[in-house]
Structure 1
């Protein structure tokens, strides 16, 4: 699977040969988070080339970490499903995230911002319970991003997966969120509260008062946001 071998019998070295090639751990994060289709995985690793994604998926399949299966009801479509060996990596990936949140200096992490990855993470963690029992559309606009990456729409419908659009879906917007990418990332990672961002003028909310008041409940936070940080 790897471009080189450590040539050691040590289990750590042998695991590293499978897991420590470029992008592999990040790809596993997406698979463990529930992405199964090629296009879903691409959205979770937007800076990974399709060719490299294909190679890493094949490598993980050869290593017995995942399997490629036909998608139900689609004779030609496929999904990538973790095997027992792949599912056993969940605490490993979570432990890496916890370590990164606890020990990596936040200013360094905030130099590596990506609106597509942020919105994709937010999409899959939204809790629709506090939201109205009808379709809700939230538009997020990043004032510091170029036009092609500035506006994003979250469409939440009861009983359906939350949809993320980078092109206006044509629905009436219930809540408009105007902010910058760094501020939204700080909120998502638990470095700053939405209330503090609103009070400082770094975030402006317009539209449904109910959605605005419940923002921190339905938006939720990164799964690592509650990890106690050991660096400034």
Structure 2
């Protein structure tokens, strides 16, 4: 394992970047916010990262106390990586970074990869309240744990338990929400998001109580 590189500056921002400033580290955190992931799953959902770099970053994250590696019990018996409590504390950091980068999204480029669950963090930023939300896109399904203080922020596939709201929408609408161009309640009113469910979140979306004053309406 290579020694940790450091900016050697007595500054909290510099110390933080010593741990997460390397290329790919924060995107690995984004993936692990969904809960435990196998190495092969991480590699599949981080297109462009080499196997050597991914393995090196994961080892660094273990060394720095951001992630742990453990073996699943039978019949799985595979090794998975998951965030430590310290690692999960990076969720608001990623959310702030995503908010700051909304204006950089623009239109999707031909070379841009996309995964359905990459829309999870923008949707978490856009939704108020607490509850489990299933999201159905053409590219796949994922679920959000809105307002959850502990555990995974989101997960791949349908929710394992009760669901407060189910959203069906296309990737163009998700992209508009991610860019900050469209509030979820406005998309519901425009017929771009179909909402089902009897939970508080579903009712708030149908009744237009999920508007964000700081988000312009998509024309």
TM-score bucket of the superposed structures, by smaller chain: 0.5 to 0.7
Structure 2, unmatched stretches of 5+, are: 125-131, 144-154, 159-166, 206-210
The aligned counterpart of 1:170 is: none
The aligned counterpart of 2:181 is: 191
The aligned counterpart of 1:214 is: 196
Question: What is the CA distance between 1:68 and its match in structure 2?
Answer: 1.1
The aligned counterpart of 2:152 is: none
The aligned counterpart of 1:94 is: 92
Max radius of gyration: which structure?
Answer: 1
Structure 1, unmatched stretches of 5+, are: 132-137, 141-151, 165-174, 206-211
Q: Could you state the TM-score of these two structures normalised by the residue count of structure 2?
A: 0.56
The aligned counterpart of 2:157 is: 163
Question: What is the CA distance between 1:9 and its match in structure 2?
Answer: 4.0
Q: Could you state the TM-score of these two structures normalised by the residue count of structure 1?
A: 0.54
Partners of 1:214 and 1:184 in 2: CA distance = 17
1:110-129 to 2 correspondence within 5 Å? Answer: 110-111=106-107, 114=112, 116-117=114-115, 119-121=116-118, 127-128=133-134
1:29-178 to 2 correspondence within 5 Å? Answer: 29-74=30-75, 76-87=77-88, 90=89, 92-101=90-99, 103-104=100-101, 106=103, 108-111=104-107, 114=112, 116-117=114-115, 119-121=116-118, 127-128=133-134, 140=138, 152-154=139-141, 163=157
Question: What is the CA distance between 1:189 and its match in structure 2?
Answer: 5.2
The aligned counterpart of 1:145 is: none
Root-mean-square deviation (CA), in Å?
A: 4.3
Question: What is the CA distance between 1:228 and its match in structure 2?
Answer: 3.9
Deviations 1:24-48 (A, max 9, x none): 1121122233243223323543333
Change (3 A) 1:127 1:155: closer
